[in-house]
Amino acid sequence: MNTTSRTTGTAFTILSLLAVCHMFNDMLQSIISAVYPLLKDSLLLDFTQIGLITLVFQLSSSLFQPIVGLITDKKPQPYSLPVGMTFTMIGILSLSMANDFIHVLIAVFITGMGSSIFHPEASRLAYLASGGKHGLAQSLFQVGGNFGSSIGPLLALWIITPYGQRNIGWLSIIALVCIGIMLVISKWYKANLYRLKPVSKDNSNINKTSVYSPRKTAFAISILLILIFSKYVYMASLNSYYMFYLIDKFGLSVHDAQLYLFAFLFAVALGTIIGGPVGDRIGRKYVIWVSILGTAPFALIMPHVGLMWTCILSIFIGLILSSAFSAILVYAQELVPGKVGLIGGLFFGLAFGIAGVASAVLGKVADNTSIQYVYDICAYLPLIGLVAVFLPNTKKI
């Protein structure tokens, strides 16, 4: 691989390696929710404490992302990727040794910091390596992360649940492998920083001003943030409590519930690859519209059906809903040109932050009512997708 090439085409090798790193990163992050039943039983936690664990994890994953993005917009940091994975590795090792609730909170906070460092600069790197195919690049990047998230429950099923919490520590080997891959990517990144400064044919700087007025841009960003709220509050109900829902309603074992969670998360991974390329082709507004609002019929039906249809509907929900984020992220980057890191940090950070707060609130609701009630009320969230009709069409930008 020639790291000094001046080509501006799509760097598929780098995008592939970046997707692999995103897979490893999110796989390690997803271990946290996958071992919730184990932690709940061994540490005698209630649903409110489970929600607080998610809140601390997601807040540490989100609060620093816009800051990292803003800093790296001014001065990119090619070697921040392995630094972020080092935080994740330390957090995973700490979680394997946690013997009380406070220790768990510290471990997940450190793990979340790794994600907070990784995502803004990795999102910029995907944009840089895209060669203009921004939707495709973001989808490849996102599918790696979502596929990794789907593998987390399987690792918990095979490595952790049968043998105990200490076995979480073995996953630090994956983090070490990922750090090695990230060093290769960082070397290419450093050698290709010129791609972040495109020039026109007369060598003048390309205009990085949005084609929309500041007021219209702010309005469109606000709509996108509302859609992020809808998507990630509903996703929080599935990521944090789907296993408990299956165990409570259908009497499944933890083993079987982890398999159902894997099926949902794998569907999320498959759906992610659709949104970006389709958005490149037909316009991101339409992908966003179909993705979020199209989930509504399945979400409304799911709390009222049996086990088989619950699994089937959750797969459809994962496939449809997951196509939205790549389209939303690239749409926002097109609305605010030249601020790739800031937008990546803002939207990744907001997504994780909303998921964390939602998990804490939903945990309290579950303790006060029931898991079934949580799914009854969350089923209406995808209807918020109706606001996508107010988005301008950026296909031609």
DSSP one-letter string for 142-161? HHHHHHHHHHHHHHIIIIIT
pLDDT, one tens digit per residue, over 250-297 is 999 888 888 898 888 888 877 777 666 666 676 677 777 778 778 889
Nearest of 219, 146, 259, 213 to residue 387 by alpha carbon: 219
CATH architecture of 12-196+210-390: Up-down Bundle (1.20)
90-94, 160-164, 281-285 — most confident range: 90-94
List the domain boundaries for the chain.
Answer: 12-196+210-390
Confidence check: pLDDT of 208 > 60: no
In which band, very low, low, confident or very high, does the pLDDT at 192 lie, cut at 50, 70 and 90?
confident
Q: Which of 348, 283, 386 is nearest to 120 (CA)?
A: 348
C-beta separation of 331 from 394 below 8 A = yes
**pLDDT greater at residue 189 or residue 200:** 189
| Confidence grade of residue 55 (pLDDT, cut at 50, 70, 90) | confident
Does residue 397 register a pLDDT over 60? no
